[in-house]
Amino acid sequence: MTLRRTSRYLPRTCPLLLAIFLLILSEQLTRVASEYDPYKILGVGRSASQAEIKRAYKTLAKEWHPDKNKDPKAEDMFIKVSKSYEILSNEERRSNFDRYGQMDENQPFGQSQHHGFRSFHNSFYFDESFFHFPRSRDFADSKYLLHHAQFNSDVLPDSHKRPYLIKVTSEWCFACIHIEPVWKETVQELEPLGVGIGIVDLGYERRLASQLGAHRAPSIIGLVNGRVTFFHQAVVREHLRQFIEDLLPQKLVEKITDNNYLAFLDSWRAENKPSVLLFDQVPVIPFLYKLTAFAFRDYVRFGYVDQGDTHNTRLLRQFNINTYAPTMLLFKEDTEKPVDIIQARGMKRQIMDEFVSNNKFLQVPRLVNQQLFDELCPVKQFHRRRKYCVLLITGEDQAFLRGNKAFLDFASVNKKDVLRFAYVYQRQQQPLCQALLHNQAALSPQVVILERRSHAGKVLYRSVSGGWNGSEEDKYRLHEQLELLQKDPTYLTSDATLPELNNEMAPIFIIQWMNAAYDYILQIYDDLLYSNWREMMPILSLIFSALFILFGTVIIQAFSEPGESKPRKPKPKEPPQPEDDASSRANTSSRPPKKDFVEVTELTDITYISNLVKLRPGHINIVLVLTNASKNALLRKFAKEVFSFSGTQTLHFSFLNADKHRHWMPSLLRSSSGSEGYVDEDEESPDYSGHVLALNGYKKYFCLFRPVFTGDDPNDSSSETSFSSDSRRKSRSRSRSSSHSRSRSHSREDGPGSRRGSSRATSIEVHHKLDRLGLWMERLMEGTLPRLQVPAWPSLGEATNSSAES
Dump pLDDT digits (tens) for 538-553: 767 778 788 888 888 8
pLDDT the model gives residue 1:
38
Q: Which of 724, 732, 747, 740 is nearest to 783 (CA)?
A: 732
Lowest mean pLDDT among 120-134, 156-170, 298-312: 120-134
Q: Residue 24 above 90 pLDDT?
A: no
- How many CB atoms are closer than 10 A to CB 90? 17
pLDDT of residue 580: 39
Contact status, residue 258 vs residue 313, Cβ threshold 8 Å: yes
CA 661 to chain centroid: 69
The predicted pLDDT at position 553 comes to: 81
pLDDT beyond 70 at 247:
yes
Residue 36 confidence (pLDDT): 67
Average pLDDT over residues 635-648: 86
Confidence of residue 533 (pLDDT cuts 50, 70, 90): low
Closest by Cα among 643, 645, 641, 622 to 633: 641
- CA-wise closest residue to 452 among 536, 363, 387, 539: 387
Taking the CB of residue 495, how many other CB atoms lie within 10 A of it?
12
For residues 31-37, give the mean pLDDT: 57
Q: How many CB atoms lie within 10 A of CB 662?
A: 18
**pLDDT-based confidence at 641, cuts 50/70/90?**
confident
Question: For residues 288 and 611, which has the higher predicted lDDT (pLDDT)?
Answer: 288
In the chain, the percentage of residues whose pLDDT exceeds 90 is 27
> Order of strands, edge to edge, in the sheet holding 600-602?
600-602, 651-657, 620-626, 692-696, 701-705, 788-789
Distance CA 98, CA 102 (A): 8
325: Cα within 13 Å, side-chain hemisphere: 11
Q: What pLDDT shows up at residue 766?
A: 78
More confident residue, 646 or 198: 198
Pairing between β-strand 600-602 and β-strand 651-657 as defined by DSSP bridges: parallel
Contacts of 256 (CB under 8 A, 6+ apart): 264, 277, 303, 304, 305, 312, 315
pLDDT(106) > 70: no
- The 10 Å CB-count burial string (b at 16+, else e) for 527-542 is beeeebeeeeeeeeee
The yes-or-no verdict on residue 583 having pLDDT over 50 is no
Beta carbons within 8 Å of 190's beta carbon, 6+ residues apart: 165, 197, 240, 241, 244
**What are the backbone dihedrals phi and psi of residue 569, each rounded to the nearest 5 degrees, phi first?**
-85, 145
Task: Please tell me the predicted confidence (pLDDT) of residue 537.
Answer: 66
DSSP state at residue 612: I
Output helix, strand, coil percentages for the chain, rounded to the nearest 5. 45, 15, 40
Q: What is the distance between the alpha carbons of residues 184 and 190, in angstroms, rounded to a whole number? A: 10
Local structure of residue 657 (DSSP, 8 states): E
Mean pLDDT of the chain: 77
The model scores a pTM over 0.75: no
Residue 224, number of CB atoms within 10 A of its CB: 18
Q: What is the mean pLDDT of residues 478-482?
A: 91
- In terms of Cα–Cα distance, which of 84, 92, 125, 89 is closest to 109? 92
Look at 197 and 79; give whichever has higher pLDDT: 197
